[in-house]
Amino acid sequence: MPVDTSSASSSKNRGDSRRKPARWQNAEVLNIIQEAPDAITLRLRLEEAAAFLPGQYYNVRLLVPGRSGPVQRAYSVGSSPVPDTSIIDLGVREVPGGLVSPRLVGDLAAGDWVEVRGPVGRFTWTTDDGGPVLLVGAGSGVVPLMSMIRYAVAAHLDVPMRLVCSSSNFDYAFYHRDLADLAERFSWLDVVHTFTRDPFDPRASHHRRIDQIMIAEVVVDQFPGRTYICGPPTMVEDVQKWLTELGVDPATVLVEKYD
């Protein structure tokens, strides 16, 4: 079946300031998929579909007891814009004590409605950006990287992609089942897990935080044409610095920091 890639065929509109800002709209919760003990995929059907690029995010706003107005937070899209942009999967990890994420993870059910606005962001990859692509994510930072991988699958691309994914252990790794399945099916995809709190699990190549040696190994093995780093600000800044030291052109590196 031919796939309509028009909604994701160009990164030319990355940051196009002439576009009208999206307005808040209602989205129906279609499904909640448990990705890890503390993380879900929130599958939403938008009232108004909007073209988005792999890597972008939506803002979600909720009424929170004790707050006079709604509270909003950003959540990346983990699904592919191809073939359908009217249904989006947001990946949400619960932050203990947080105002919004515990409500999204624990309180919603299919048939509920939430308010969203988007898509937003310049952290995007499409065919036009080329490869090989190096994706580096920690924790929920893997969500927008998964959108890029799923887009490559849906659009039948075979650009080499390597994901370095840091999680506390296998069960807490976002999308661990899907990633294992996709890496098995597609030779252009390589997934390198590192587990920070499980020193023995053989499903990980490494058992420590992402460090300079790990990044040097993947860059030497396959020099990236484009790199995307997403997660906690310190990890993102460290990896950015190590890549520059390894000779990667900073202009080819895009980052998204989850503050």
Ligand X SMILES: Cc1cc2nc3c(=O)[nH]c(=O)nc-3n(C[C@H](O)[C@H](O)[C@H](O)COP(=O)(O)OP(=O)(O)OC[C@H]3O[C@@H](n4cnc5c(N)ncnc54)[C@H](O)[C@@H]3O)c2cc1C
Site residues for ligand X per CB under 6 A: 57, 73-76, 91-93, 95-101, 140, 143, 256, 258-259
What is the closest distance, in whole angstroms, from the C-beta atom of residue 150 to ligand X in the complex? 14
What is the closest distance, in whole angstroms, from the C-beta atom of residue 117 to ligand X in the complex? 13
Q: Give 195-202's long-range contacts (Cβ < 8 A, gap of 24+).
A: 195/166, 195/167, 195/168, 195/169, 195/170, 196/166, 196/167, 196/168, 197/168, 197/169, 198/168, 198/169, 198/170, 201/169, 201/170
Cα–Cα distance, 205 to 191 (Å, whole number)? 9
What is the closest distance, in whole angstroms, from the C-beta atom of residue 115 to ligand X in the complex? 15
Phi first, then psi, for residue 230 (nearest 5°) are -145, 135
Q: What one-character DSSP code corresponds to residue 172?
A: T
**Of 175 and 258, which has the nearer Cβ to ligand X?**
258
What is the closest distance, in whole angstroms, from the C-beta atom of residue 157 to ligand X in the complex? 23
**Of 164 and 219, which has the nearer Cβ to ligand X?**
164
**Of 90 and 164, which has the nearer Cβ to ligand X?**
90
Residue nearest to ligand X (CB): 98
**Of 37 and 96, which has the nearer Cβ to ligand X?**
96
